[in-house]
Amino acid sequence: MPNKAIEVKNLVKKYDGRNPTLDGVSFSVQEREFVTVYGKSGCGKTTLLNILGGLDRPTSGDVEIHGTDITELGEDELARVRLEEIGFVFQDYNLLPDLTVRENVALPLRFSRMTDQGRIDDLLKRFEIDGIAESTANKISGGEAQRAAIARALVNEPSIILADEPTGNLDSENTVKVIETLRSIIEDFNTTVILATHDTELAGYSSLRIHISDGKASLEDLREASDRVTRGSPSDV
Length, in residues, of the chain: 237
pLDDT for residue 237 is more than 70: no
- DSSP-assigned states of every residue in 193-206: EEEEES-HHHHTT-
* CA 62/CA 71 separation, integer angstroms: 6
Where does 4-226 sit in CATH, by number?
Answer: 3.40.50.300
Q: How many CB atoms lie within 10 A of CB 161?
A: 24
Q: Residue 72 carries which side chain, given as an amino acid letter? A: E
**What is residue 110's predicted lDDT score, i.e. its pLDDT?**
84
**What is residue 1's predicted lDDT score, i.e. its pLDDT?**
57
Per-residue model confidence as pLDDT tens digits over 215-224: 999 999 887 6
* CA 202/CA 14 separation, integer angstroms: 28
pTM: predicted TM-score of the whole model, two decimal places: 0.90
Per-residue confidence band for 17, with pLDDT thresholds at 50, 70 and 90? confident
CB 216 within 8 A of CB 43: no
Alpha helices in 155-225 (DSSP H): 172-189, 200-203
Q: What percent of the chain has pLDDT over 70?
A: 93
Mapping DSSP to helix (H, G, I), strand (E, B) and coil, where does residue 178 land?
helix
- For residue 7, CA distances in Å to 29, 116, 143, 146, 179 come to 6, 31, 32, 28, 24
**What is residue 112's predicted lDDT score, i.e. its pLDDT?**
79
Segments making up each domain of the chain, as ranges: 4-226
Which stretch of 36-45, 93-102, 224-233 has the lowest confidence by average pLDDT? 224-233
**What is residue 111's predicted lDDT score, i.e. its pLDDT?**
82
- DSSP-assigned states of every residue in 83-145: HHHEEEEETT----TTSBHHHHHHHHHHHHT---TTHHHHHHHHTT-GGGTTSBGGGS-HHHH
Q: What is the 3-state secondary structure (H, E, C) of 22-69?
A: EEEEEEEEECCCEEEEECCCCCCHHHHHHHHCCCCCCCEEEEEECCEE
